[in-house]
Structure formats: C-alpha cells, structure tokens
C-alpha cells in the first residue's frame, strides 16, 4: 500500500471524469444539431406507347372493379436512411410529385415485422394522387426503408427531380451518395468548449 502513488491516482480520476464530461457534451451537442436523413430517388420508364412498335398501344391494369389504361408508366425506388444520431419512435414525412405526376402504387419494404410504414391515404389504381403522407414506426439510427413506386405522367416524361420528400421534423435531407461527406463535414466543424478547454475534430489538410 505504501507504494501507491495517490497523487497519480487522483489525477487519473480527475482526468477521466473531465474526459467523460467532454465526450458526453460532444455527443449531446451533435444530437442537438439538425439531423441528416439520407434519401435516394430513382425512376425509369417501364412502358411508353411512343416507343412501342404497336401504334396507339396501352398498358391495361385491372383494379378492384374496373380496368385502367396507361400510355406511359414509370417504375422507381425511394429509399430513406436514418443517418443521424436520434432514434424516432415515429417519423412522419411526405412524398410529393409535381402536378403532371400520379402515383399509382407504393409498396414499402421494411427491415423486419417490427418496422412498419403507415399511410394516411395510400395511392392505388382507384386513388391516383400526386402526394401522400406516411409514418415510419420506428425510425431508429441506421434504419432503412425502401418504397417501390409505380407512377404515370399526365403528359410528357418524368424524372427524379419531380419528386420531393419533406417532413415537419427538424431534419436535413441529403442524398445517399453524399451522406459520408455530410457526416465528415459535421465532424470537421464540431468544436466544443468546456471551461479553458476546447475539443474538436478537424480534417488534416496535409
């Protein structure tokens, strides 16, 4: 017992406590930021009567009680990922197309049966709409939800830029391809102060 350096032990405890406080403050600060939610939107032409060898041809889809004819159809995929640091028991958002677009069908794919997507008014052959809202339950960190979509234009052609995603939650929508860049920028800009100390992560430009 006489060989124990109590001063060194005390410094270790103080240093550890201060480091723990700094780390906790760092992550609390990160959580208080506007959180990034990654998204990906892709659509491609499935059928176009103008490109078909049979003139004036149409695709016929049968609904609950009648047939619906389409000269142009697009299939696509919408994917969102919780790339932030907050778990959401419920995450509500909306998908909006321009006035020239009608959603015919949206099929969600979830991680497992404990994750689900609930629609307020789902698109269908009988309910062709250009916007709809839904709630993800839950939307935890790194959760991925995928939606297969079927859309048609009233006239002309369609592209991904005509579909927008929005939410009342304080989040920042970022493209999935740029998610890692966004996270790096957040870390690079993170500077914390605690008394006379400052802790930060800066990118090495050398």
46 phi and psi angles, rounded to 5 deg: -100, -40
Domain harbouring 65, CATH code: 2.60.40
Q: How confident is the model at residue 11 (pLDDT cuts 50, 70, 90)?
A: low
Overall domain count for the chain: 1
- Cα(188)–Cα(98) distance, integer angstroms: 37
Q: How confident is the model at residue 62 (pLDDT cuts 50, 70, 90)?
A: confident
Q: Which has the minimum average pLDDT: 26-40, 73-87, 142-156, 192-206?
A: 192-206
Residue 97 lies in domain: 35-177
Does residue 40 fall inside a structural domain? yes
Does residue 25 fall inside a structural domain? no
The terminus-to-terminus CA distance of the chain in angstroms comes to 49
Q: Which has the minimum average pLDDT: 30-34, 38-42, 146-150?
A: 30-34
Would the pTM count as exceeding 0.85? Answer: no
Q: How confident is the model at residue 60 (pLDDT cuts 50, 70, 90)?
A: confident
Does residue 148 fall inside a structural domain? yes
- Tell me the average pLDDT of the chain: 79
Q: What percent of the chain has pLDDT over 70?
A: 67
pLDDT of residue 144: 95
94 phi and psi angles, rounded to 5 deg: -130, 150
Does residue 19 fall inside a structural domain? no
pLDDT of residue 63: 81
Instruction: Supply 70's token pair.
Output: 């389409």
Q: Which residues pair with 41 in a beta bridge?
A: 78
Does residue 50 fall inside a structural domain? yes
Instruction: Rank 57-61, 172-176, 187-191 by mean pLDDT and report only the highest.
Output: 172-176
Does residue 104 fall inside a structural domain? yes
- Cα(97)–Cα(79) distance, integer angstroms: 16
Does residue 105 fall inside a structural domain? yes
204 pLDDT above the threshold of 60: no
- Cα(56)–Cα(158) distance, integer angstroms: 20
Helices (H) and strands (E) counted in the chain, each on its own, are 2, 13
81 pLDDT above the threshold of 70: yes
Does residue 72 fall inside a structural domain? yes
User: 54 vs 98, which has greater pLDDT?
Assistant: 98
Q: How confident is the model at residue 177 (pLDDT cuts 50, 70, 90)?
A: confident
């Amino acid at each position: 017992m006489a060989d124990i350096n109590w001063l060194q032990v005390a410094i270790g405890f103080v240093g550890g406590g201060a480091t723990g406080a700094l780390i906790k403050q760092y992550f609390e600060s990160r959580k208080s930021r506007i959180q990034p939610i990654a998204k990906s939107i892709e659509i491609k032409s499935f059928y176009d009567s103008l490109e078909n060898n049979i003139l004036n041809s149409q695709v016929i889809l049968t609904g609950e009680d009648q047939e619906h004819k389409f000269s142009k159809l697009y299939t696509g995929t919408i994917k969102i990922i919780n790339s932030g640091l907050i778990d959401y028991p419920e995450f509500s958002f909306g998908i909006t197309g321009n006035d020239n677009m009608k959603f015919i069908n949206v099929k969600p794919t979830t991680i497992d049966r404990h994750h689900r997507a609930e629609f307020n008014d789902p698109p269908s052959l009988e309910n062709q709409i250009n916007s709809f809202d839904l709630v993800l339950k839950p939307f935890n960190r790194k959760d991925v939800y995928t939606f297969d979509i079927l859309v048609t234009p009233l006239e002309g052609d369609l592209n991904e830029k005509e579909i927008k995603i929005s939410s009342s939650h304080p989040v920042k929508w970022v493209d999935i391809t740029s998610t890692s860049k966004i996270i790096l920028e957040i870390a690079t800009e993170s500077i914390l102060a605690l008394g006379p100390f400052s802790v930060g992560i800066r990118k090495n430009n050398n």
